[in-house]
Amino acid sequence: MCILAIQFRLVPESPVLVAANREEFYDRPSQVPSIQSGKPRVLCGIDQQAGGTWLGVNQNGMFVACCNRTKLTPTIAPRSRGVLCRELLRAQSSRQAVDKAMDELSTGNYQGVNYIIADAESAWAVHGGDEPNVVELDEGLSIIASQDVNDPRDDRVQLAHRLLTLQTLDSPVKFLAVASKVFSRAPSPPGRATMIVRSEDHGTVSSTLLALGIKPRDAIYQFANGSPDQVKFEDYSPMLRDILSRGLREARTKAAKT
């Protein structure tokens, strides 16, 4: 499973603010975030086993991430949820990505999954359970893990919500500073909600902090290649700013031609 928090359109200069912990088997290899070939350009990590991703941003400023979820009816020979996440990042807008996600999930070819899809205009939670559905996110803080977004029955989601609302996070720097501490919180004793998961063969394997600003130069992308209570966040912001600047130039060129 994974856990992700998104603060949407509360900070005018950074409409999309994200903190996310990825959980996976320790022996499943992955690559740190890098710029992928093709158009639109995408910055994301790569799961080396299936070739998909768990989280990324494209040059249009659209963010997509996935979390595994419970599904009562198992899928035989399922298609990779991470590969679909990577395909969604090729969309031109969040609305287009949501439509593709729902079309794909409606085939029944995937195990349970949640997708969070957002750009400066709109943000969505796509629940890929036994009966896929989509929820448009309101302005403010939303948190998702292995159940529905902001599920009041999910103790882990409720813990993250409490910790992230102890103070007003009214700037990207403040959000990322507080979120980095919350998502680096040491594992709780068994039986209690926890931000970091650690067991014998699987657990929290990486963490991401993200700020998508109105201007490419204000974008921030920080990544911890390991459990964030044990390794430091590294700065991948220059690569994110590069693809966002490319996207802005291409959009301006296209507008000038029309």
Paired tokens of 249: 């130039």
Q: pLDDT value at position 191?
A: 86
Q: What is the pLDDT along the chain (258 residues), one digit of tens a residue?
A: 799 999 999 999 999 999 999 999 999 999 999 999 999 999 999 999 999 999 999 999 999 999 999 898 889 899 999 999 999 999 999 999 999 999 999 999 999 999 999 999 999 999 999 999 999 999 999 999 999 999 999 999 999 999 999 999 999 999 999 999 999 999 988 889 999 999 999 999 999 999 999 999 999 999 999 999 999 999 999 999 999 999 999 988 888 887
**Bridge-partner residues for 16, per DSSP?**
8, 212
Structure tokens at 143: 């948190």
Domain 2-257: CATH class, spelled out: alpha beta
What are the residue ranges spanned by the domains of the chain?
2-257
Report the distance separating Cα 238 and Cα 229, nearest Å.
Answer: 24
Tokens of 213: 């600003």
What pLDDT score does 74 carry?
83
pTM: 0.97
